[in-house]
Amino acid sequence: KTEEELAKEYRIKGVPTIVFLNSQGEEFLRIPGLLSKEDFIDLLCSYVTGAKQGCK
């Protein structure tokens, strides 16, 4: 698929937007906008562990 087709399929309105998909191709996490490396890692750790304070 082209970038335009993927953007339309996943309703991406701006960049950067990171969309995580499960093994069935269904969206389970969306990160719109720019995050620092630290905030990105904390968000992912929080999502994976269920912790509110990240992985620290």
Q: Which residue matches tokens 């490396």?
A: 37
Q: How far apart are CA 54 and CA 44, in angstroms?
A: 8
Q: Which pLDDT does position 49 carry in this prediction?
A: 80
Q: Does a structural domain hold residue 24?
A: yes
What domain range is 26 assigned to? 3-49
pLDDT higher than threshold 90 for residue 29: no
pTM reported for the whole predicted model: 0.69
Q: Answer yes or no: is 32 within a domain.
A: yes
**Percent of the chain at pLDDT above 90?**
59
State residue 53's pLDDT score: 60
Question: In the chain, how many domains are there?
Answer: 1
**CA distances for 47 relative to 14, 21, 41, 53, 55, angstroms:** 23, 14, 10, 10, 10
Measure the CA–CA gap between 30 and 25, rounded to whole angstroms: 13
Query: Is there a domain that residue 56 lies in?
Result: no
Q: Average of pLDDT values for 34-40?
A: 94
pLDDT exceeds 80 at position 11: yes
